[in-house]
Amino acid sequence: MKLAKLGAGPEIFHTVQGEGISAGCPAVLIRTSRCNLHCVWCDTDHTWNFEGTPWPHEKDAVPGYTKHRKADVTFELSPADAARAILAFGCPRVVITGGEPLLQEKELLETARIILAEMPDCIFEVETNGTRIPSPEFGETVHQFNVSPKLSNAGMPENLRLVPEALAHFAASPKAWFKFVVATPSDLAEIQTLRSRFAIPPQRILLMPEGRTAAELDLSAPQLAELCRDLGYRFCDRLHIRLWGDKRGV
């Protein structure tokens, strides 16, 4: 399967989950490469923003920024080798992120089954943009879906970023938790519209402050927490930014 590359190896590392309802839990993170979306602010664009692709990105304005050479940022690994690398940490929680992991669901299911054969209590979380419905087998194996539908600030047409059948599927699944970064009042208005359009239970919606540093998070967090209180949503901090900023592989 295609994973993101970190240094000379695959992007698989032991960390603590930084966001969502299991924030703070020790976990092994595995990052798949490739995404079916191309958000202009994506902070993992090494998984999809390759040379020769037409997608714009905020970083285009940064002097010296160039798109990634696919071979430099991709690491091919079999499900058996990925399972072995994950099991080596001895940690009973695996966070599968991307990119968009559901593009490689078959290989990930095989990986999860190998891990479960050795570590039956292992918990699997999948971070997804909510545009694809998992197969019944994968849906049964995964314990938690952290769904982040993309808002208009991602810079893509609605028909690409919002797939009604998939969002309705996750809204109806008690395994799915919806998390959104809120930067502006219009973000909140879009979230409210999504909530009513897809009947997402408010108690499974998490709002997170925007920011790439702890100081930036602090600016909007108190106000956002009060909003969550009033709307019945869950406030979620962004632990990895507080602990490590935007450093990769931790």
Position among 13, 44, 133, 239 found at the interface with ligand SF4 (CB under 6 A): 44
Contacts of residue 83, Cβ cutoff 8 Å, sequence gap at least 6: 111, 112, 114, 115
- Note whether 38 binds ligand SF4 by CB under 6 A: yes
Widest CA span in the chain: 49
Letter for the amino acid at 168? A
Q: What angle do CA 134, 164, 149 make, to 5 degrees?
A: 75
- Note whether 153 binds ligand SF4 by CB under 6 A: no
C-beta closer to ligand SF4: residue 103 or 115: 103
Residue 155, both tokens: 């810079």
Position among 10, 18, 99, 211 found at the interface with ligand SF4 (CB under 6 A): 99
| Near ligand SF4 in 191-250, by CB under 6 A | none
C-beta closer to ligand SF4: residue 66 or 223: 66
Cα separation of 175 and 131, whole Å? 16
C-beta closer to ligand SF4: residue 15 or 47: 47
Contact characters 113-132, ligand SF4, x per CB under 6 A: ----------------x---
Position among 16, 27, 39, 188 found at the interface with ligand SF4 (CB under 6 A): 39
- Note whether 181 binds ligand SF4 by CB under 6 A: no
Q: Is 81 exposed, middle or buried (0-12, 13-18, 19+ CB in 10 A)?
A: middle
Q: How far is CA 250 from its chain centroid?
A: 15
Instruction: Kindly calculate the radius of gyration of the chain based on its CA atoms and give it in whole angstroms.
Output: 18
Cα separation of 42 and 154, whole Å? 8
**Torsion angles phi and psi, residue 138, rounded to 5:** -70, -40
- Note whether 149 binds ligand SF4 by CB under 6 A: no
Contacts of residue 13, Cβ cutoff 8 Å, sequence gap at least 6: 6, 28, 29, 249, 250
- Note whether 102 binds ligand SF4 by CB under 6 A: no
**Torsion angles phi and psi, residue 142, rounded to 5:** -80, 140
- Note whether 100 binds ligand SF4 by CB under 6 A: yes
C-beta closer to ligand SF4: residue 115 or 211: 211
- Note whether 40 binds ligand SF4 by CB under 6 A: no
Position among 98, 101, 139, 211 found at the interface with ligand SF4 (CB under 6 A): 98
Position among 12, 16, 30, 35 found at the interface with ligand SF4 (CB under 6 A): 35
Q: Point out which residues bind ligand SF4 (CB under 6 A).
A: 35, 37-39, 42, 44, 47-48, 98-100, 129, 150
